[in-house]
A and B are shown apart, each in its own frame.
Chain A
Amino acid sequence: MHIQELILRLQRFWADRGCLIGQPYDLEKGAGTMNPLTFFGALGSKPWNVAYVEPSRRPADGRYGENPFRVYKHLQFQVILKPSPAKVQDLYIESLEALGIDLSKHDLRFEEDNWESPTLGAWGVGWQVVLDGMEISQFTYFQQVGGLDCRPVSAELTYGIERICMFLGGYDNIFDLVHGEVKTDDGVFPVTYGQMRQREEFELSAYSFEHADIDLHRTLFDAFEKEGWRLLKDHGHFLSAYEQALKMSHTFNVLDARGAVSTTERPGIIKRVRDLSCACARAYLEHQEGAAVPVEAAGKGGAK
């Protein structure tokens, strides 16, 4: 199946089941969870169903476009269902069937895999969903986001788009995947993932591992942090402040891939991002719910 067909089917499926179809957020980020549609959407008491594609950057996973399985940037399809429905597993299984996976012929398992995002002050419990031995999705019941208990609890479903396409098509190389077809007066031209992305993988890997200016990134990290706190403290602006936290997070990932972060330094840096994103979460909730956030809720549970 073409990548775009898979995305379209997932969007149709979840739209038909009462989800808003959102859009990727136009800042670099490591996972779809960081999109404000999820980060803020999972907070507070109001019902919230949303689904969207999120390009996710992991600088340390870059392999110069040479590894058939690992890439700097991949696509996640993210679904948030708040509160988590009683039949959420069944819904997820139906979505796989909507992709043409005939589960009467496959082996589907939910294996324990708990999720944690130290930079977002978020954690949840759930599974990796394994189809015929292959991990195709992450399934999480959010327990905390931004250091705050989730009430009600959201279910987060994250589909690895390229992986599922590779698996369904039996591809041994991610770059051989077909994104879609371009039809012109002269004929039909399939466009591969490699044609669209391989050069990008090469350049971005080279940037993360070799060319990124370490001093600049250290400076940027400090500046984004300062900017974020200024926006939050002086203006009470949690959305623009949160963008600064996202930028800090990506800047940290680049520094990490460049090998510029020592193991002793790492927890401190992560905490600086978390402090800002958690403060944004509290400000959002105070604004949204018009009520003070209960103090005991902050930092409770297993968030790191």
Chain B
Amino acid sequence: MSGTKTFLLELHCEEIPARFLTPLIEEFSAAFTAWASDQGLASAGLEAFYSPRKLAWRGASLPASQPDQTDTQVGPPQRMCVGEDGKPTLQGLKFAEKWGVDFSAVRFEQPAGRKEPCAVVTITKQGRPTVDLLAEALPGLIAGLHVPKAMRWGTSEFEFVRPIRNILCLFGDQVVPITVDGVTATNTTWGHRLYHREHPEAVKIATTEAYESALEAAGIVVSMEARRTRIAQQLEVLAAEVKGHVVADAELLDTLAEIVEFPKIVRGEFPADFLELPKEVLVTSLREHQKSFCIEGLDGALLPCFLTAANRTDDPAGFVKAGNEWVLKARLYDARFFFAEDRKHPLADRLEKLQALTFQRDLGSYHAKTGRVVALTKNLATRLSDDMDHIDRALEAARMAKCDLRTLMVGEFPELQGIMGGEYLRYEGAHEEVWKAVKEHYRPVGADDAIPGTPTGCLLSLCDKLDTVAGCFAVGLIPSGSKDPLALRRAGQGIVRILWERGWAFTPADLIAAALRTVGAKATKPEAETTEALLAFFKDRVAYQLELVGYAGSVRRSALAAGWEDLVDLKARCEALSAFAEDPRFASLAQSAKRIGNILKDEALSTDFDGSLLAQPEEKVLATCLKELESAPDQASLLAALANLAEPLEAFFNAVMVKCEDPALRAARLSLLHRLRQAFLRVADFSLWQ
């Protein structure tokens, strides 16, 4: 048997929860590929398909059978297998028998590592038809899939994510005969439920290649990507019809594509008076309760419309639209009820109630946290500004920041924390600086999110995150490996970004000390230990942030090694280095810097150097350059001076023998290089440049 065929497996189940689809698809693909390679079947991997009721995999160009395998077995020495009479001994016959060959097939050779000729047989194991191997292996591969919340059904003991109701399994045009929990594979499957109202027969899959088209004809778009693309297109068209565009939400788009088998986007309306609710409330309520997108007009304000997906091709009677509108209205009534109830009392009334809300067992309530954040805000605000009004507003924002955790709206939609506090303060007539700061103080919520838009918002966000990180470290809650349940790394990233994007000159050591002072007696770990752990944590965050921003590895490593405590300076150096790396003089400079490093290795160094000892013109030029470098007032002129150094340095190394006989001259030259290196190190450690 030769040639290749295509393998196709589809498990048709009752509706599988969306969150399990991708993990199951990926796990089987990996297990199958590993199995195929164990069997000596060269495979190009599997193509995956899934929908709420289907998990399917297709692998093209799988060999029709295993290649034949030869195996060499070494037995006892020749002298023990063949008697002096030249006839086989009992031992020799047993060796042949063990491997199922006649004694005449036994050869005598001296294998590597043996001192004398031994009995050797070569056994050819004929490759088996792939279809047989599949039939044997697939039930185990399917049953072995890891299901976090497995279930049983009917009378069977079989466990899976949801009941398997049909199995389609083909190798080429042949059905692979497998049975899983009493379901035997065929070459048929089932289409959309609506399709089968008119067509009671199962759908025959004539060829593995026709899988998608046969299912599409039966009402199912089985490719996740195809569904997502179609949904995205329909969303755009339907939003454009009302002169708006969709409020983007990639996660919601995925969700919709995962819960329908045939995507039809329906646009509905809701009463315009609900638009008095804050935009974030509407977007969240529509997303969480009704898996719906909002539409915004050209001015960014929401339109009284929503878009959601139906699991069918059309909405012939308008029932889908009307039904979703009906449910959404009930939901928005709820949201409006929460919004009205929450505003019956000023937000500040919740401050005392924060005592009953635990932030963390050792660190106390959110009330205690608020106290710490206020203290920290005061400390940092007075260092950033001497405008007392401004400082007062920052402190007011810090006091109000966590109050919305006790509102009905945040109870219903936790992701609206901060946002609701800000909105409620705005309705109460709070100063813009205050409500905006509260509203944005959880930002940035991820790498793609922006930092707060106002300086006060940034300060509040910084202090809140700093207190969380330092507080948790002080009570021993330190992220390790993949474990970071309190998202401290994300908070750390936010702190670094705010410092950079605002250009604030606080050093991490400074911030850590201030934060630990407010944590005070709540700490359960020694302060020195916590400080050390926090410094290491922040250095990692800084390095990671530099990577996220896109600086090359060489830039990051060499700049970090030259010091990271002054974050603003570090960022400026990275920026300058990245630009300079393109300069043709840079390669030469980096090379020279490394050379300096090598020369200075193992030398006793002094920073005193006597310029008058220098004799050759090349070294005199270099001494002048050094003066220029050392007197550079800022980063930019330092880099400009460095760039101008490339040529003189090259000339110096070409002409001057540093380690000359004259000890005084030699010392002067070494000192010159040492001072140059120190000037370099103000920017970067070039020895780490690759």
List the interface of chain A (C-beta within 8 A of B): 68-69, 83-86, 89, 93, 103-112, 114, 124-125, 127, 131-134, 141, 143, 150-153, 155, 167, 170, 172, 302
The answer to whether B311 touches A109 (Cβ under 8 A) is: yes
Cα distance A150–B153 in the bound complex, in angstroms:
9
Inter-subunit contact A107/B312 (CB<8 Å): yes
B165 close to chain A: CB less than 8 A = yes
Cα-based distance from A105 to B333 in the complex (angstroms):
27
Interface residue? B78 (CB, 8 A): no
A20 CA to B31 CA, complexed, in Å = 46
CA of A185 to CA of B260, assembled, Å = 53
Q: Which one, B10-18, B60-68, B614-622, is touching chain A?
A: B10-18
B330 proximity list for chain A (CB < 8 A): 68-69
Selected A-B contacts with CB under 8 Å, 29 pairs:
A69-B330, A69-B333, A83-B155, A86-B163, A86-B165, A103-B194, A104-B194, A105-B317, A105-B319, A107-B311, A108-B311, A109-B259, A111-B15, A112-B17, A124-B151, A125-B151, A132-B320, A132-B323, A132-B327, A133-B320, A133-B324, A134-B327, A141-B151, A143-B151, A143-B152, A153-B151, A153-B152, A167-B326, A170-B326
A84 touches B319 (CB 8 A): no
Q: What's the Cα separation between A133 and B268 when bound, in Å?
A: 12
Do the beta carbons of B14 and A133 come within 8 Å of each other? no
Is there an interface contact between B323 and A133, defined as CB atoms closer than 8 Å?
Answer: yes
Q: Are A133 and B308 in contact (CB under 8 A)?
A: yes
B155 in contact with A167 (CB, 8 Å)? no
- Asked if B485 is at the interface of the complex by the 8 Å CB criterion, the answer is no
A198 to B305, CA, bound (A): 34
4 A-B pairs besides A110-B14, A112-B17, A133-B320 with CB distance below 8 A are: A107-B311, A107-B319, A134-B323, A170-B326
In the docked arrangement, what's the CA distance between A170 and B319, Å?
Answer: 11
Are A153 and B310 in contact, CB atoms less than 8 angstroms apart?
Answer: no
* Bound Cα distance A155, B316 (Å): 32
Q: Which residues of A contact B333 (CB under 8 A)?
A: 68-69
B197 within 8 A of A: yes
Question: Do B154 and A153 touch (CB < 8 A)?
Answer: yes
Q: Which residue of chain A lies nearest to B324 when distances are taken between CB atoms in the complex? A: A133
In the bound complex, how far is the Cα of B659 from the Cα of A80, in angstroms? 94
- Rounded to whole angstroms, the CA-CA distance of A107 and B259 in the bound complex is 12
Q: Does B193 contact A (CB under 8 A)?
A: yes
Asked if B19 and A112 make an inter-chain contact with CB atoms under 8 angstroms apart, the answer reads yes
Contact B323 A104 (CB under 8 A): no
Whether the pair B193, A108 counts as a contact (CB closer than 8 A) is yes
Quote the shortest CB–CB distance from A6 to chain B (angstroms): 17
- B149 near A125: Cβ-Cβ < 8 Å: yes
B152 contacts which chain A residues (CB < 8 A)? 141, 143, 150-151, 153
Cα of A283 to Cα of B387 in the assembled complex, Å: 75
Q: Decide yes or no: A134 and B326 within 8 Å by CB, A93-B193, A110-B14 being known contacts.
A: yes
Q: CA separation between A143 and B159, bound complex, in Å?
A: 11
Query: Which residues from chain A contact B133 at a C-beta distance below 8 Å?
Result: none
- B226 within 8 Å of A by Cβ? no
Indicate if B290 sits at the interface (CB-CB under 8 A): yes
Q: Chain A residue with minimal CB distance to B15?
A: A110
Residue of A whose beta carbon sits closest to that of B155: A152
Nearest Cβ in chain B — how far from A163, in angstroms? 10
Asked if B323 and A84 sit within 8 Å, CB to CB, the answer is no
Question: In the complex, A172→B151 CA distance in Å?
Answer: 38
Q: Are B154 and A133 in contact (CB under 8 A)?
A: no
Nearest 4 A/B pairs, CB to CB: A132-B323, A112-B17, A133-B324, A110-B15
B327 and A106 contact, CB distance less than 8 A: no
A267 to B14, CA, bound (A): 34
Q: Which residues of B contact A170 (CB under 8 A)?
A: 322, 326
A170 to B330, CA, bound (A): 12
Instruction: Knowing A84-B153, A105-B319, A127-B15 are in contact, say whether A133-B197 is a contact too (CB < 8 A).
Output: no
**Alpha-carbon distance between A124 and B330 when the two chains are bound, in angstroms:** 28
B328 located at the interface, meaning its Cβ lies under 8 Å from any Cβ of chain A in the complex: yes
Contacts of B193 in A (CB 8 A): 93, 103, 108
Residues from chain A with Cβ under 8 Å of B316 in the complex: 104-105
Nearest residue, chain B, Cβ from A129: B15
Residues of A contacting B310 in the complex (Cβ-Cβ under 8 angstroms)? 107, 132
Are B154 and A83 in touch, CB under 8 angstroms? yes
Q: How far is the CB of A90 from chain B (nearest CB, A)?
A: 9
List the B side residues contacting A84 at CB < 8 Å: 153-154
Residue of A with least CB distance to B154: A83
CB contact between B197 and one of A103, A109, A110, A167 (< 8 Å): that residue: A103
| A104 to B197 alpha-carbon distance, docked (Å) | 8
Which among A108, A112, A302 has the greatest number of chain B C-beta atoms within 10 A?
A112
Nearest CB in chain A: distance from B464 CB, A: 25
CB pair A89–B14 under 8 Å, yes or no, is yes
